[in-house]
Structure 1
Amino acid sequence: MVDYRRYRVPGGTFFFTHMLADRTATMLVDHVGELRAAMRVVRERHPFSLLAIVILPDHLHAVMRLPAGDDRYSMRWRLIKREFTVRLRDKGVALPSRGDGERSPWARRFWESTLRDADSLARRIDYVHFNPVKHGYVTRVAAWPHSSFHAFVARGVLPIDWAGGREGAPAPSGD
């Protein structure tokens, strides 16, 4: 097995992609309340700032900033995934087996990148918010309910019609 080494930056800001093992599943949006609750529980014990997030049926993208001196994002995501899985199991949701007997909806790995400056942060936040349009779930960013885009609109950071729609609107860069 490849020994993957993640780049550690205490107090850093990171972009993440987490996927379900079954890319046809809709578990994340079907149980979005449990996912949000799992994130709240972990954030209370191990603080972090969630700068942007979008939850799609089979994957999520998030931009997370860690507290100064802390580089343990893998631990936070492991706990979030575990908490979500336990909540689903407690509700009686059938969880897929990974083949080794472990029952979990999550793919084993995740992708992260370190955001080094304001420009890369802005591009990734745009990417997060535009992702439901990119995947064809909606034609307007504002139409997707499971996105931090709505908080950006409420704070006056973005207009409700940001990025227009699929028809003729350029996709924000960042992928």
Structure 2
Amino acid sequence: MEAGKFYHIYNHANGSENLFRNDENYNFFLRKWSHHIEPIADSYAYCLMPNHFHFLVRIKDEENLEKLNQTGFQNLSDFLSKQFSNLYVSYAKAYNKMYDRRGSLFSRPFKAKEIENDSFLTNVIFYIHHNPLHHGFTKSIADWEHSSYHAVISDKLTRLKRKEVQNWFGSKEDFRRFHDQAIKGLEKLELEFT
């Protein structure tokens, strides 16, 4: 990972396990995310599902990262990876204690796909919000509580880069309209192939 770049971050539970069993697990993970990842990256979109998650982040600039790198990593990429590792380890320890389980919880290594163009960025935001619908966890994007979709369309306080996401699509209404039209396009595509 490199300073100033956008990445699609995602990971999955080991095997057929779940990462999140109840609302408190989802909320605790977001608090851990805030503690470990917000200092190094801004979050633009996310979705947490029972067995996996997706985030769109932009890594902060090199000057800010250098100030945070108190552990002496020579390579900023190693420092960034360590921050993500700390997130996963701290969440897994608490999860293991809560559910009296042992061993690793997350698949390794986690995935960080660089966003290389504007079109890809738009599609990743939609993909992240559409994921619960795609996997059959819900029948509507708006029905899934554990995604940034609601933060983008609301006026409530959020740590998400809401204004930037809204402006990316044009406005809050344009953001909502894009998601609705994209879903209708997918439904039409599915009908054509069934």
Q: TM-score band, normalised by the shorter chain?
A: 0.7 to 0.9
Q: How far 1:165 moved relative to its partner?
A: 6.9
Q: How far 1:17 moved relative to its partner?
A: 1.6
Residue matched to 1:33: 27
Amino acid at match of 1:81: Y
User: Which segments of 5 or more consecutive residues in structure 2 lack a partner in the other structure?
Assistant: 66-75, 155-165, 167-171
* Matched-pair contact (CA < 8 Å) for 2:19–2:52: no
Q: Does 1:168 align with 2:168?
A: no
RMSD of aligned residue pairs (Cα, Å): 2.5
Residue matched to 2:107: 107
Could you say which structure has the higher helix fraction? 2
Instruction: Give the structure-2-normalised TM-score.
Output: 0.69
User: Which segments of 5 or more consecutive residues in structure 1 lack a partner in the other structure?
Assistant: 1-7, 97-102
Counterparts in 2 of 1:19-98, with a 5 A limit?
A: 19-23=12-16, 25-30=17-22, 31-43=25-37, 46-69=39-62, 70=65, 71-72=76-77, 73-90=80-97, 92-96=98-102
**Aligned-partner SS, 1:107:** coil
Q: Which structure is larger by alpha-carbon Rg, 1 or 2?
A: 2
Q: How far 1:38 moved relative to its partner?
A: 0.8
Amino acid at match of 1:49: D
Instruction: Give the structure-1-normalised TM-score.
Output: 0.76
Distance 1:10 1:167, change over 3 A: closer
In structure 2, how many angstroms separate the alpha carbons of the residues matched to 1:166 and 1:95?
43
In structure 1, how many angstroms separate the alpha carbons of the residues matched to 2:34 and 2:188?
34
Counterparts in 2 of 1:123-142, with a 5 A limit?
A: 123-142=123-142
